[in-house]
């Protein structure tokens, strides 16, 4: 789609899946990244053998993450422990604060978000 972020998200997801294939194999979910600011949503589908990343809304997301592009990137680069941003680091506190203040909104199970972040973290 015009202005779509799927190619950039694909690069991040592909890197994470190739570095952590065991974690990626355990995820069976459809994710929608809704990026504010006029960008189309990005659909990520983890199934048995493949991961699909494409521009467009998810059909039946088990997890939906919405926020500004910069906030979503901050969540991806925060150091993690067990899929949760580390509060002992500035980037970790920032990421936790964005979720707590609802600058980044999550719909779905937080356990899925933890597993997704553990796979695709930068």
Cβ–Cβ under 8 Å, residues 26 and 115: yes
Q: What is the pLDDT of residues 12-28, one digit of tens each?
A: 999 999 999 999 998 99
Q: How far apart are CA 42 and CA 28, in angstroms?
A: 17
In this structure, are strands 42-46 and 29-36 parallel, antiparallel, or unpaired?
antiparallel
Q: Residue 86 class from Cβ within 10 Å (0-12 exposed, 13-18 middle, 19+ buried)? A: middle
Phi/psi at 15 (nearest 5 deg)? Answer: -65, -45
Looking at domain 6-69+105-120, which of 3.30.470.20, 3.30.1050.10, 3.40.50.150, 3.10.20.600 is its CATH number? Answer: 3.30.1050.10
Q: Residue 34: pLDDT above 90?
A: yes
Partnered with residue 33 across adjacent β-strands are 42, 65
The residue extents of the domains of the chain are 6-69+105-120
Indicate if the alpha-carbon torsion angle 119, 112, 83, 22 is positive or negative: negative
Q: Residue 1: pLDDT above 80?
A: no
Q: Residue 41: pLDDT above 90?
A: yes
Q: Residue 101 class from Cβ within 10 Å (0-12 exposed, 13-18 middle, 19+ buried)? A: exposed
Predicted confidence at residue 95, as pLDDT, reads 86
Q: What is the pLDDT of residues 63-104, one digit of tens each?
A: 999 999 988 888 888 888 877 888 898 988 888 888 888 888
Q: What is the pLDDT of residues 46-74, one digit of tens each?
A: 998 899 999 999 999 999 999 999 888 88
> What's the whole-number average pLDDT of the chain?
90
pLDDT band, very low/low/confident/very high, at 121 (cuts 50, 70, 90): confident
């Amino acid at each position: 789609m015009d202005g779509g972020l799927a190619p950039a998200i694909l690069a991040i997801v592909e890197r994470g899946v190739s570095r952590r294939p065991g974690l990626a194999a355990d995820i069976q979910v459809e994710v929608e990244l809704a990026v504010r600011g006029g960008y189309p949503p990005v659909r990520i589908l983890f199934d048995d053998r493949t991961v699909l990343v494409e521009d467009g809304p998810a059909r039946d997301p088990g997890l939906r993450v919405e926020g500004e592009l910069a906030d979503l990137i901050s969540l991806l680069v925060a150091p993690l422990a067990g899929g949760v941003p580390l509060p002992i680091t500035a980037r970790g506190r920032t990421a936790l604060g964005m979720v707590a203040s609802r600058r980044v909104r999550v719909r779905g199970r937080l356990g899925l978000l933890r597993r997704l972040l553990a796979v695709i973290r930068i």
